[in-house]
């Protein structure tokens, strides 16, 4: 049953009171216009609970925007949504179309800093740019709909993205993003299949980007870290402060940390970012639930810069030094012909101090 406006409603209750489910919740397709976003297909979800979000069908069904009761949950970079035709794959050109949002995916064959990969085959002939190609690949076989499942109304967007080239990789990503009427949650299921007849290297990064007002100088990270590794010497200077966020500083450099996570026996783990002081201490937070057996690392990106006031909570399969270095460290996955990997993630909004405390207790119990 759906919980709306402080009450529980069955399917029958609701259908008696609305002319269309779209009166209270919906999923709909739109086309963005103007500037570099022009022509980009998007899907807008509204769950009726106060949660709304937008996925971009032409950008791997990544989530460009998310808010709860008018409060943004994510950082939005100044470039805005960008059509994939403007993708610049070389070096740091990826940043020219990095809108950030609640989710930008890295992979499928590599992520991390731009680098050379002499052992990387045909696809690495001109070097590998930042975070891979998948976030600029449009969805095919797009399927957007909503339906009743008993007393639950479920909405979804599903599509397929193929990262392939002649004499190179042939990886298929099948992605489904779904939400329920009355819920403050987003579910994501990815299935990556190697459709080539040779082994294929695979790396995956879920670049979840949190911004103001959820992110602020009093906000906190809740992470069940067993080990924390700074990305470089600059980040190492501030490793004792990784759990806290600072006020904006125009001269701030970014910091990154890799956390090896504790988890339940089946691999289930949680990370969260919370702001206990927002809305007169009502509190607001966002958690991510996933399986640490599939995504054993959390990349934490801290950027308290003026105008780039953002943080990333990024479950991933490896660290971010580039495929060549990760291969040497033994952290690159090799998919055999026909092999699949499934990634399930749940994004949930924490709307009160009680809900924040419940997730905090779960995180603490893992360690």
The reported pLDDT for the residue numbered 197 is 97
- Confidence band of 97 (pLDDT split at 50, 70, 90): very high
CA angle 229, 231, 233 (to 5 degrees): 100
Helix (H, G, I), strand (E, B) or coil at 2: strand
The reported pLDDT for the residue numbered 360 is 98
Q: Is the pLDDT of residue 194 over 90?
A: yes
Q: Which backbone phi and psi does 71 adopt, to 5 degrees? A: -100, 125
The reported pLDDT for the residue numbered 276 is 97
For residue 57, give the nearest of 191, 193, 157 by alpha carbon.
Answer: 157
Report pLDDT digits (tens) over 33-42. Answer: 999 999 999 9
Report pLDDT digits (tens) over 282-298. Answer: 999 999 999 999 999 99
Every domain of the chain and the residues it spans: 2-366
Q: How far apart are CA 268 and CA 1, in angstroms?
A: 26
- Confidence band of 1 (pLDDT split at 50, 70, 90): confident
CATH for 2-366 is 2.70.98.10
For residue 299, give the nearest of 139, 112, 135 by alpha carbon.
Answer: 112
Mean pLDDT within 245-261:
95
Report pLDDT digits (tens) over 124-147. Answer: 888 999 999 999 999 999 999 999
């Amino acid at each position: 049953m759906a919980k709306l406006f402080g009450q529980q409603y069955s399917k029958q209750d609701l259908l008696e009171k609305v002319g269309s489910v779209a009166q209270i919740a919906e999923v709909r397709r739109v086309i963005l216009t103007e500037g570099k976003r022009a022509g980009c297909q998007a899907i807008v979800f509204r769950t009726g609970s106060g949660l709304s979000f937008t996925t971009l069908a032409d950008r791997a069904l990544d989530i460009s925007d998310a808010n709860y009761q008018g409060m943004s949950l994510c950082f939005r970079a100044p470039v805005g949504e960008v059509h994939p035709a403007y993708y610049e794959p070389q070096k740091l050109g990826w940043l020219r179309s990095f809108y950030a949002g609640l989710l930008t995916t890295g992979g499928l064959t590599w992520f991390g800093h731009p680098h050379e990969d002499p052992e990387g085959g045909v696809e690495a002939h001109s070097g590998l740019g930042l975070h891979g190609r998948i976030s600029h690949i449009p969805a095919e076989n797009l399927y957007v709909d909503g339906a009743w499942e008993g007393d639950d109304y479920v909405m979804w967007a599903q599509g397929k993205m193929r990262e392939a080239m002649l004499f190179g990789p042939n990886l298929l990503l099948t992605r489904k993003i779904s939400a329920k009427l009355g819920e403050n949650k987003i579910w994501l299921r990815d299935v990556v299949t190697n459709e080539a007849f040779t082994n294929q290297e695979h790396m995956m990064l879920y670049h979840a980007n949190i911004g103001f007002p959820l992110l602020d100088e009093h906000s906190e990270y809740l992470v069940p870290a067993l080990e924390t590794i700074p990305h470089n010497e600059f980040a190492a200077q501030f490793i004792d402060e990784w759990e806290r966020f600072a006020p904006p500083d125009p001269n701030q450099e970014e910091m990154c940390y890799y956390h090896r996570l504790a988890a339940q026996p089946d691999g289930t783990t949680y990370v969260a970012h919370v702001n206990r002081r927002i809305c007169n201490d009502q509190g607001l937070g966002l958690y991510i639930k996933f399986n640490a057996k599939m995504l054993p690392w959390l990349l934490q990106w801290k950027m308290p810069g003026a105008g780039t006031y953002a943080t990333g909570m990024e479950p991933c399969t490896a660290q971010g030094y580039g495929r060549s270095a990760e291969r040497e460290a033994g952290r690159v996955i090799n998919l055999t012909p026909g092999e699949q990997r499934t990634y399930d993630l749940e994004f949930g909004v924490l709307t009160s101090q009680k809900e924040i405390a419940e997730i905090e207790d779960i995180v603490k119990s893992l360690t």
